[in-house]
Amino acid sequence: MVNSDVEVTENWLKPIIETFENEPKTAIIQPKILDFKNKEYFEYAGAAGGFIDKYGYPFCRGRLFDTIEKDNGQYDDNCEIFWASGACFFIRSSVFMDLRGFDADFFAHQEEIDLCWRAYNRGYKIKYNSQSVVYHVGGATLQQGSPQKTKLNFRNSLVMLIKNLPRNYLFSIITIRLVLDGITAVQFLLQGKAKHTCAILKAHLSFYGLFYRHFKKRGEFQSEKYYKTKSIVYLYFINKIKVFSAIFVATK
């Protein structure tokens, strides 16, 4: 399954096919995703494979929030990840059908993270393969900085939590997220970005209206081992951790 907004490299499919053939438990694979406009750097949407923190905030090897790393070979490996970017990833057709594909209620943002999270809860493995390289043209759906993009990101992230968080984390994590979202909305307002504040408000109103509908979509099992770190927000904004490789040094 491949996004059309990418430039591929020579023999890019071979490592993917070999991984599927040699690892029957691997269901989803992401290649290394670099920036089409600046090919020495990782691309925002996916980079070298995605993870989420305890509160459901996504981040990537090679990209934490708006800080994007230069590709110096630091992620030239093949490893297990939590989510693969919709910019470019591959999934076994049998698994895609088993999961009933993307959730159409998401539209445009984080539907691939939801898909991977559901796969993870079913026991499937998601992998990153650095031997396959593509260059992605970012912002083809909605430009970075669009209020509509803000709305979809905030709403879909909360909906994803409803569907996939383990039950004993569900309400406490969502409550914390609502508070953090409120702080972000105030920050936007203080920065003169009132449209983004309104976008977060609209996202929350939509989320409340969709709560029960998406709560009914929860699967039979939700893993408690979904996150790699407790709070990427704290590490990035308070501890000033700007690169993926420094996260686990800071949390030891």
Q: Are 82 and 228 in contact (CB under 8 A)?
A: yes
Average pLDDT over the chain, rounded to an integer: 93
Checking DSSP bridges between strand 26-35 and strand 90-91, what pairing results, if any? antiparallel
Same domain, 117 and 159: no
For 13, the domain range is 6-141+229-250
**d(C-alpha 16, C-alpha 38), whole Å:** 24
What domain count does the chain have?
A: 2
User: Is residue 104 situated within a structural domain?
Assistant: yes
Same domain, 63 and 161: no
pLDDT at 248: 74
- Give me the helices (H) in 46-138, please: 93-98, 111-121
pLDDT at 1: 46
User: Is residue 56 situated within a structural domain?
Assistant: yes
Helix and strand element counts for the chain (H, E): 8, 9
pLDDT at 2: 45
User: Is residue 53 situated within a structural domain?
Assistant: yes
Same domain, 162 and 91: no
Q: Are 109 and 199 in contact (CB under 8 A)?
A: no
Number of Cβ within 10 Å of residue 181's Cβ equals 18
Same domain, 91 and 155: no
User: Is residue 222 situated within a structural domain?
Assistant: no
**d(C-alpha 78, C-alpha 197), whole Å:** 40
User: Is residue 16 situated within a structural domain?
Assistant: yes
Same domain, 86 and 39: yes
pLDDT at 251: 60
Same domain, 151 and 241: no
User: Is residue 220 situated within a structural domain?
Assistant: no
pLDDT at 220: 92
Q: Are 134 and 39 in contact (CB under 8 A)?
A: no
Non-local (6+) Cβ contacts of 55 within 8 A are 173, 176, 177, 180, 231, 233
User: Is residue 223 situated within a structural domain?
Assistant: no
Same domain, 20 and 132: yes
Q: In this model, does residue 7 exceed pLDDT 50?
A: yes
Render pLDDT for 75-126 as a digit per residue (tens, 0 to 9): 999 999 999 999 999 999 999 999 999 999 998 789 999 999 999 999 999 9
Kindly report the CATH number assigned to the domain that includes residue 15.
3.90.550.10
Q: In this model, does residue 60 exceed pLDDT 50?
A: yes
pTM: 0.94
Same domain, 195 and 107: no
Reported as type and span, the H/E element at residue 214 is: helix 194-215
Render pLDDT for 146-196 as a digit per residue (tens, 0 to 9): 899 999 999 999 999 999 999 999 999 999 999 999 999 999 999 999 999
